[in-house]
């Protein structure tokens, strides 16, 4: 990694508080562009609009997904803006670059009856880890937390009396997220029964405040959560292609289907922009029709000419 890229990653980490995963994605995208620059014999200050077009064409010819290209262009725009501020280049050559049009893909979701069926099936398990897994499923469905947010929950960030979480989201921004009575009961059962047993597997000097632990008593990781969801499918026979984001999408969609305001959902999910939250509006045609019929003054007036 060259010096300017290293400085940029430090800037993302220390000044912008970007997550490690975002920093890694930016670094890989920019390194990909540097490979192309090296092949073309160009330096940072020699990038032209034509070179950028050639780069994008080569990427598309290599069957790189448009979503990946869109992310790479965003990373490079940010990077070259940084380079202009550092006086490494005179201007940002990516400032007018348009991203490829991406076909809109809507998130897959589970609906209330599927969620209820999965929770009931999981509760029929007889292995010891069922209690923890039920707490995880219940909380994800009840709160829409990201993976990173769930695995960093501590004993002190869960208010059982008020049924409220203090969540550390993207950019290390805190927000309050409520959870359901069902989730509270599942969390308390795990806290009072299984968690002490898991914690006892660790030496006293390695006690952790992290709420969710793996089967060895250590803090649960993002990869560990993925493994747990796969294990839940195998143990219950419910093959739903479970993924943390599927549960997050399902949380948002079910709220919208039941009349929650989009801005409230935005706050609960920790989205910086309402545009990110609006992706969920596509899955509610029935709600849209219902709201239209309620709100439009002439929605139920028959056309007398067609009677």
DSSP of 161-192, one letter per residue? TTTEEEEE-GGG-EEEEE--HHHHHHHHHIII
Catalytic residue among 245, 263, 282, 296: 245
The C-alpha atoms of residue 40 and residue 199 are separated, in whole angstroms, by 56
Catalytic residue among 184, 195, 249, 271: 271
248 in active site: yes
Catalytic residue among 27, 78, 184, 248: 248
Any alpha helices (H) in 20-156, and if so which ranges? Answer: 20-40, 49-61, 66-85, 112-123, 130-143, 147-151
Among 275, 279, 272, 225, CA closest to 252: 279
- Whether the Cβ atoms of residue 240 and residue 118 lie closer than 8 Å to each other: yes
39 in active site: no
Q: Which residues contact 18 (CB under 8 A, 6 or more apart)?
A: 12, 26, 171
- Whether the Cβ atoms of residue 128 and residue 193 lie closer than 8 Å to each other: no
146 in active site: yes
Catalytic residue among 13, 70, 77, 170: 170
The C-alpha atoms of residue 27 and residue 22 are separated, in whole angstroms, by 9
271 in active site: yes
Q: What token pair was written down for 188?
A: 């308390």
The C-alpha atoms of residue 296 and residue 204 are separated, in whole angstroms, by 65
Rg (CA), the chain: 24
245 in active site: yes
Catalytic residue among 26, 80, 190, 280: 280
What HEC string does 199-261 produce?
HCCCCHHHCCCECCECCCCCECCHHHHHHHHHHHHHHHCCCCCCCHHHHHHHHHHHHHHCCCC
191 in active site: no
Q: What token pair was written down for 35?
A: 């490979």
Catalytic residue among 72, 78, 132, 146: 146
The catalytic residue positions are 146, 170, 245, 248, 271, 280
């Amino acid at each position: 990694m060259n010096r300017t890229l290293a400085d940029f990653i430090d800037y993302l980490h220390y000044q912008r508080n970007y997550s490690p995963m975002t920093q890694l994605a930016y670094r890989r995208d920019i390194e990909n562009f540097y490979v192309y620059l090296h092949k073309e014999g160009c330096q940072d200050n020699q990038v032209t609009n034509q070179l950028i077009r050639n780069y994008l064409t080569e990427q598309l010819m290599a069957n790189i997904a448009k979503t990946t290209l869109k992310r790479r262009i965003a990373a490079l725009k940010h990077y070259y803006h940084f380079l202009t501020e550092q006086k490494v280049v005179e201007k940002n050559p990516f400032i007018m670059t348009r991203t490829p049009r991406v076909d809109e893909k809507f998130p897959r979701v589970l609906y209330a009856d599927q969620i209820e069926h999965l929770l009931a099936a999981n509760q029929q398990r007889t292995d010891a880890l069922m209690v923890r897994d039920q707490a995880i499923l219940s909380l994800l469905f009840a709160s829409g937390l990201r993976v990173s947010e769930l695995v960093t929950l501590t004993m002190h960030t869960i208010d059982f009396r008020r049924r409220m979480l203090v969540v550390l989201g993207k950019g290390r921004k805190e927000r309050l997220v409520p959870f359901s009575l069902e989730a509270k009961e599942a969390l308390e059962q795990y806290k009072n029964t299984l968690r002490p047993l898991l914690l006892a597997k660790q030496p006293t000097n390695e006690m952790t405040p992290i709420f969710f632990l793996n089967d060895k008593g250590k803090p649960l990781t993002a990869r560990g959560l993925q493994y747990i969801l796969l294990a839940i499918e195998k143990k219950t026979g419910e093959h739903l292609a479970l993924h943390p984001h599927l549960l997050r999408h399902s949380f948002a969609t079910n709220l919208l289907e039941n009349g929650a305001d989009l801005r409230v959902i935005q706050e609960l999910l920790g989205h910086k922009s309402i545009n990110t939250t609006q992706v969920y509006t596509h899955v509610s045609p029935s709600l849209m029709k219902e709201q239209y019929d309620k709100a439009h003054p002439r929605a139920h007036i028959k056309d007398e000419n067609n009677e």
